[in-house]
């Protein structure tokens, strides 16, 4: 007779890889086939150590900047997007580059460019220092865009021409937090130009709504993701706000502090958009070593989004 206690696991669906991450990883894999190793990648292709380590083992070389890329070798830009100065620098050195920027991030870039062409000052709602924010701000000349990180920023913002504003957002933000910031901006600047379609991407939206569903029924929630993954960190925040205080971010099963799960009977599991499903399976296996596990899935929606590869790799 087993002395293990029973544990019900609820898996959030959707979870894990989104279409932009799938595309970015496939770009590196196909580039390695087409060009042979090494293929250089500027920054982590996506924010996940397991994914990056696997691609490194296949022959990808991850670098901080283009000056670390030897002449004559291809370079790939990460899914988060890059400032315009980066492809310009690659072209000046005649480096072949493949742009793995998520198409939904590129959509934000184009929106910012349109607003700038219309003479508007742009407010970017996002997190300072995140690669996506650096890339978006780098689409336009310095001073064209102001970063808004918090509700306090939105309340205190002073602008020269309040009638001539537009806003865009990082794609991986908290839906609820962003809605509050937008509400403040619209109250203070009624003429502000609003994106035709929300900039926060479908995958971020779906994963946050799905974790809300499981948070109401779980004693604790594990979010699989990297510490530097914006969308993964937002999932933890959303789960806690929905009342599941024991919600934590873990990179892998070995990182779980099992003492924090003492006394639970229902565990929710989800994964950020750059975390592979194999890491979810690894956590379930680790749970099976300690508990009598039953697994069920709570589905919000089934995703079927796909994005085309760059023309250099289209077959």
Annotated binding site for dimethylallyl diphosphate: 47, 80, 130, 229-231, 274
Binding residue ranges: 18, 47, 80, 102, 130, 171, 201, 229-231, 274
Helical pair 230-241 and 202-215, crossing angle rounded to 10 deg = 30
Q: Are 277 and 16 in contact (CB under 8 A)?
A: yes
Where would I find the beta strands (DSSP E) of 182-309? 220-224, 247-250, 266-271, 291-299
Instruction: List phi, psi (to 5°) of 266.
Output: -130, 125
End-to-end CA distance of the chain: 56
Binding residue ranges for [4Fe-4S] cluster: 18, 102, 201
Distance CA 260, CA 199 (A): 35
The closest of 62, 74, 63 to 33, measured between CA atoms, is: 74
Distance CA 50, CA 159 (A): 43
Q: Which of 65, 88, 132, 242 is labelled catalytic?
A: 132
Catalytic annotation present for 132: yes
The closest of 178, 184, 247 to 211, measured between CA atoms, is: 247
Binding residue ranges for isopentenyl diphosphate: 47, 80, 130, 229-231, 274
Distance CA 299, CA 210 (A): 7
Distance CA 84, CA 43 (A): 15
Catalytic residues: 132
């Amino acid at each position: 007779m087993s002395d293990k206690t029973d544990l019900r696991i609820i898996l959030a669906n959707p979870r894990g890889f989104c279409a932009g991450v799938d595309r970015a990883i496939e770009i590196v894999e196909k580039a390695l086939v087409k060009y042979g190793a090494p293929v250089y990648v500027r920054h982590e292709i996506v924010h996940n150590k397991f994914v990056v380590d696997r691609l490194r083992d296949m022959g990808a070389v991850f670098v901080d900047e283009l000056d670390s890329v030897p002449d004559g070798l291809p370079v790939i830009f990460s899914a988060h997007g890059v400032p315009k100065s980066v492809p310009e620098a690659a072209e000046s050195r005649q480096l072949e580059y493949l742009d793995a920027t998520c198409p939904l991030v590129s959509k934000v870039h184009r929106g910012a460019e349109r607003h700038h062409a219309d003479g508007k000052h742009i407010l970017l709602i996002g997190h300072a220092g995140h690669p996506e924010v650096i890339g978006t701000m780098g689409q336009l000349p310095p001073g064209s865009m102001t970063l808004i990180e918090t509700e306090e920023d939105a309340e205190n913002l002073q602008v020269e021409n309040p009638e001539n504003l537009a806003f865009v957002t990082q794609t991986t933000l908290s839906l609820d937090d962003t809605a509050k910031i937008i509400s403040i901006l619209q109250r203070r600047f009624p003429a502000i130009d609003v994106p035709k379609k929300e900039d926060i991407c479908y995958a971020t939206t779906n994963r946050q709504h799905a974790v809300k569903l499981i948070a109401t029924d779980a004693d604790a929630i594990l979010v699989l993701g990297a510490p530097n993954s914006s969308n993964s960190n937002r999932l933890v925040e959303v789960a806690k706000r929905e009342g599941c205080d024991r919600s934590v971010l873990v990179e892998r099963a070995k990182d779980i502090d099992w003492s924090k799960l003492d006394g639970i009977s229902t565990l929710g599991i989800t994964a950020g958009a750059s975390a592979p499903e194999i890491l979810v399976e690894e956590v379930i296996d680790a749970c099976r070593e300690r508990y009598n596990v039953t697994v069920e899935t709570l589905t919000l929606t089934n995703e079927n989004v796909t994005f085309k590869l760059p023309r250099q790799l289209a077959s």
